[in-house]
Structure 1
Amino acid sequence: MSGHPSYRIATIEGDGIGPEVTRSAMAVLAEACGAGRLDFVMVPGGAGHYQASGEVLPEETLKACRELDATLHGAAGLPGATYPDGTEVGNELHLQLRFKLDLYANVRPIKLLKGVRSPLRDFDAGNAGRGIDYVIVRENTEGLYASRGAGVLLRGEVASDSLVVTRKGTSRVARFAFDLASKRGGALSDGKQRMTVCDKANILRSYAFFRSVCEEVHAEFPGVEIDYAYADAITVHLLKRPDFYDVIVAENMFGDIISDLGAATVGGMGISPSGEIGDGHGLFQGAHGSAPDIAGRDLASPVAAILSGVMMLRWLADRHGDPALGKDADRVERAVESVLEAGDFVPTDLGGKTRCSEMTQAILGALA
């Protein structure tokens, strides 16, 4: 692959199944891109590192994530690894990275792959051309979660947290979502490029403001249709007519909730990728947790980590004007889908018995 640029990836294996799925992703991505294209720079972080050193995100790791081309992360969190106030250490790793790198768009593709049975059987592949393929863009730095660590607890009787919505935060995530919709093929049901705003504008001023800012940004994207759905109603729509959706944007907490619902409709968290993206940095990891109960037993599905790697390659390709890297990403996605469709290798989280190492080898074989 001489003549193509190379990329340095800050790689945090993390805790639980994190090391297993990260190594699978590294093997598949390296095979797809060819020798010398990707340099995985291993850096420490997570709950286990906190227990050993008192640091969940060492300065060297933050520096690598800031200076290298992208970040690949396995998973973080261990039972009993908590701060003195009882909150979990594991979440802190990517939360700190999220804020310190300003990763304001949490991108969760919801796509039903061939060979995977959806709980929504009407939308399985081959059913009158229907399917599930949309993206949830969750605002990642404010909303209700802006109160994290800053809420008020009065005398064990009253607790309050503040919902924070800013013009800057909303406009940039709306612009990200509209831009994404403008580059996709449109919703499966009608082919229209559509951006849906998920909110509770009928009840709370903060969400009405969120909606109004999204409407302002829409003027920049006349080719993309704007649509609205209340957070409670969209949970019904994502089950009844998922093929209507193309790109959905939501405040932090609502986005957190509906993206897990969407993942369940396409096979679960074990095959669902995610990316946390800002103007200058991108962090990619499977949507699942660290699953310490199966750690080290070769039982985890590497699919989410591998597909998160696909997202990383596409982000790098777009950012650096490297179409060859985009083609490598397409090859990996096709390899994953061909293995799942053939049905000989089924990960444990999809009801099969295929081990992490076996799934990895099958995908490598499909790539070759």
Structure 2
Amino acid sequence: MSKALYEIALLPGDGIGPEVVDAAVRVLNAAAKNEDLKLSYTTYEAGANLFQRTGESMAEADAVAVGQADAVLLGAMGLPTVRKADGTEIAPQIDLRERYGLFASLRPCELFPGVPTRVKAEKVNMLVIRETTEGLFAGRHDKQEPSDEAVSDRLTITRATSEKLFEVAFEQAKQRRASYGTPGHVTLLDKSNVLRSNAFLRKVFDEVAERHPDIGTARLYIDAGSMMFVTNPERYDVVVTENVFGDITSEIAAGVVGGLGVAPSGDVSLKHGIFQPSHGSAPDIAGKGVANPVATILSTAMMLEWIAQQQDDPRCEKVAAAIRQATAKVLHSGPRTPDIGGNGNTESVTQSIVDALNS
């Protein structure tokens, strides 16, 4: 039986994060009201601003509480000018991935009518799945002796995580085919011709693929596969790859469909989900009211689809579909924010989506 009330943890974060989260919650509330879906929100502070004041990027009690929510909506975290002693940025969102084993980052990229693209493509609708807990991030906490001569990072691939990752990829291909009419196809991007870790990754992929004979597959080297994001993006349905490869290719895919302002994402495990725009905190436009809220709004739709699967609640699916349809309508007719060729702002886009939901 589905729940009467869903608890959503909000992590607005830094820069434009609070602005786009506020916009997304407005849209989410308008859509949920139409289906009598009850949502409750608790806001937690985390990120670079908190670190500057307290020396920690997120309180331990808050990190624990976030994990008890039904889902998490995150704005953006980190500022280029705020760094730890080792020179890296504050990234509590990565800490949360590790704490809750959020091994798969789901990054859909769809070319909506009305959104300009520099690529000659008519219909792009892909999902890039990035592994997020190992790969080239595996050694993030490895101790190293200080050196001015050489520094190394560790790349690790495990069977346990890879099997879970690939099962998610094949399940997503099936769900996308049923919901959106996509082909039902999974492409692995790797560097198995050079890296032993990636040869192992491909071996595990082949084993999992055998369990899903109804889903087509392809295996491409990351260099050629990255080129095809630009030259032939229509070929992709679901793409799955290593951590850093996925970090880069998902942003290439976002660029193909208009930029990070229209690119949602969700970091998930089998039990936890954190949903957020693919863009960063953009401090250069923070407070100016021109941030594009669409990626965060579409992230709420992803969040509701994930809750629907977790709780077997069709109301969440209906609300997610309504948000997608209203957002697509506004992207087509306007207003649109400057990053995608419009002269609208955060408020006008948000209100237009709310109006579309209520029309």
1:211 partner SS: helix
What aligned pairs does 1:342-353 form with structure 2 within 5 A after superposition? Answer: 342-343=333-334, 345-353=335-343
Q: TM-score, normalised by structure 2?
A: 0.95
What aligned pairs does 1:119-138 form with structure 2 within 5 A after superposition? Answer: 119-121=118-120, 123-124=121-122, 131-138=123-130
User: Matches of 2:127 and 2:183 in 1, distance apart?
Assistant: 14
- By how many angstroms is 1:96 displaced? 0.5
- By how many angstroms is 1:4 displaced? 6.7
Give the direction of change, closer, same or farther, for the CA distance of 1:358–1:191 in structure 2 (3 Å limit).
closer
Per the alignment, residue 85 of structure 1 pairs with 86
Aligned length: 355
- By how many angstroms is 1:78 displaced? 2.2
Per the alignment, residue 11 of structure 2 pairs with 12
* 8 Å contact kept, 1:238–1:262: yes
Q: TM-score, normalised by structure 1?
A: 0.93
1:203 partner SS: coil
- Deviations along 1:302-333, whole A, 9 cap, x unmatched? 00110011100100011100111101101111
Letter in 2 for 1:232: D
- From 343, 347, 350, the equivalent of 1:357 is 347
* 8 Å contact kept, 2:20–2:296: yes
- From 239, 248, 265, the equivalent of 2:256 is 265
* 8 Å contact kept, 2:76–2:279: yes
* 8 Å contact kept, 1:21–1:301: yes
Tell which deviates more after alignment, 279-288 or 33-42. 33-42
- By how many angstroms is 1:152 displaced? 4.4
1:314 to 2:314 alignment: no
- Deviations along 1:229-268, whole A, 9 cap, x unmatched? 1000011211222111111110101111100000000000
Letter in 2 for 1:221: H
Give the direction of change, closer, same or farther, for the CA distance of 1:36–1:173 in structure 2 (3 Å limit).
closer
What aligned pairs does 1:187-336 form with structure 2 within 5 A after superposition? Answer: 192-336=183-327
- Deviations along 1:26-53, whole A, 9 cap, x unmatched? 0100110116611111111111111122
1:101 to 2:100 alignment: yes
Letter in 1 for 2:294: V
- Structure 1 runs (4+) greater than 4 angstroms displaced: 151-154
Per the alignment, residue 26 of structure 2 pairs with 27
Structure 2: runs of 5 or more not aligned = none
What aligned pairs does 1:14-93 form with structure 2 within 5 A after superposition? Answer: 14-34=13-33, 37-89=38-90, 92-93=91-92
Letter in 2 for 1:103: L
* 8 Å contact kept, 2:37–2:315: no
1:170 to 2:162 alignment: yes
* 8 Å contact kept, 2:28–2:323: yes
- Deviations along 1:169-207, whole A, 9 cap, x unmatched? 111101110111122228x9x963211110011111110
User: Matches of 1:7 and 1:110 in 2, distance apart?
Assistant: 27
Letter in 1 for 2:262: I
- By how many angstroms is 1:151 displaced? 6.7
User: Matches of 1:98 and 1:246 in 2, distance apart?
Assistant: 25
1:352 partner SS: coil
User: Matches of 1:10 and 1:154 in 2, distance apart?
Assistant: 39
User: Matches of 1:152 and 1:206 in 2, distance apart?
Assistant: 22
2:172 partner SS: helix
Tell which deviates more after alignment, 51-60 or 283-292. 51-60
Per the alignment, residue 127 of structure 1 pairs with none
1:73 partner SS: strand
User: Matches of 2:276 and 2:94 in 1, distance apart?
Assistant: 13
